[in-house]
Amino acid sequence: MSQQVEIEFKNSLTKKEFTRLISSLNLTEKDSYLQENYYYDTKDWKLKNSHSALRIRLFSDSAEQTLKTPFEQNLLETTDALSLKQAKLFLNTHTIASKGHVAKQLSVLQIDLNELVLFGSLTTKRYEKKIDQGLIVLDESSYGTKVDYELEFETSSREVGEVYFDRFLKHHSIEKRPTKNKIVRMMESK
């Protein structure tokens, strides 16, 4: 289990901006990987209404179950590692792990695990570049027939991150755009 405060800044990108950033950051295919994201909530949207989100994420050789909950002006991520076999079993049965830190956090939120339903998924091709100020992430996400592009910047300091992110956008001539979370964009596309 890991638990960490997620401090990140986001900006939607056009395909042209996305491609240009990959080039200017000298990113290649070896800097990318695929992840499949599967989202859960109750039928009456208890997680969404508490500004929280629950997902199972599959990588090529592992998986994880993550609950994001509000924490000050950031998000607290509680994650349990899963094997691919476990994750696929949960996805096939539309359940989640009933033991672990995520289940405990859901209990604190008074979410009954039996009420959770799998309601959507998306696939992301992610490029990452570690720099002194944090982690630059470029995402190309596909859900249904829609594809979108996004820049994320993860950092350990909100103040430093905000200054760096604003400078980064200006340096690359990218308009600052409010960006909804992937789960929201996926839900709105239905």
Residue 60's φ and ψ, nearest 5 degrees, are: -65, -35
Residue indicated by tokens 């829609």: 146
In the numeric block, which tokens belong to residue 66? 């993550």
For the chain, percent of residues with pLDDT exceeding 70: 99
> What is the pLDDT, as a whole number, of residue 6?
85
CB 133 within 8 A of CB 155: yes
Q: For residue 64, count other CB atoms closer than 10 A to its CB.
A: 18
Task: Answer yes or no: is pLDDT of 185 > 90.
Answer: no
Quick: pLDDT tens for 153-173.
999 999 999 999 999 999 999
> What is the pLDDT, as a whole number, of residue 4?
86
Quick: pLDDT tens for 25-63.
999 999 999 999 999 999 999 999 999 999 999 999 999
Task: Answer yes or no: is pLDDT of 1 > 80.
Answer: no
For the chain, percent of residues with pLDDT exceeding 90: 81
What does 43-74 look like in DSSP terms, one character per residue?
TT-HHHHTT-EEEEEE-SS-EEEEEEEEETTE
Q: Name the more confident of 104 and 73.
A: 104
What CA–CA distance (Å, rounded) separates 100 from 123? 25
**Range 11-33 average pLDDT:** 97
Q: What is the DSSP letter of 99?
A: S
CB 10 within 8 A of CB 75: no
**Range 104-130 average pLDDT:** 94
What CA–CA distance (Å, rounded) separates 104 from 25? 40
